[in-house]
Chains A and B, each alone.
Chain A
Amino acid sequence: DAGVIQSPRHEVTEMGQEVTLRCKPISGHNSLFWYRQTMMRGLELLIYFNNNVPIDDSGMPEDRFSAKMPNASFSTLKIQPSEPRDSAVYFCASSFTGVNTEAFFGQGTRLTVV
């Protein structure tokens, strides 16, 4: 398996534009997580899904952020409209659901909003 695949690797966009980040989890994994990493706040969990259903979205900062998982092999994180303070590295991770299962991370999408 190629691991968790995120696209794009880098995204530069203008303030106010819509941004869509994509994630393909490892085949067979049924939990998917979106994290945001910044220097100021470290690694924050935004939302996670079990079996394509959002379980905890309490980390989603504002209504400008939305995440979907239409099927077991694809998820998106959308920011509309984007703002400069959204600039960060966004990671997707996947795992099996269980008591102690390893979360595998993608390489991240570095988002810059100018």
Chain B
Amino acid sequence: NAGVTQTPKFQVLKTGQSMTLQCAQDMNHNSMYWYRQDPGMGLRLIYYSASEGTTDKGEVPNGYNVSRLNKREFSLRLESAAPSQTSVYFCASSHTEGLGFFGPGTRLTVL
């Protein structure tokens, strides 16, 4: 039982490059989330998926797209990376009580 896994752990991009952050959970949770963490800002919700086949925007969705590939997997894509997207990205999943389980994070730097 691995919980929530994320790949990669670290990534450096140049402005304009694209990449996809991968997330998978093995807890059979319906809901999955992508957050970004910036100093002094706490965690801000980018996108979430309440169930397989649905996605919704969070607080800061601009510049990102998501895909809920199946119940286990929820990916986050940056189509054209910008320095403002330098951050630590966390994926999470939850069951109906709202209790969130978090992955270890992806530290992204955009030059």
Asked if chains A and B come from one complex, the reply is no
Which A residues are closer than 8 A to B by beta carbons?
A: none
B residues at A contact (CB < 8 Å): none
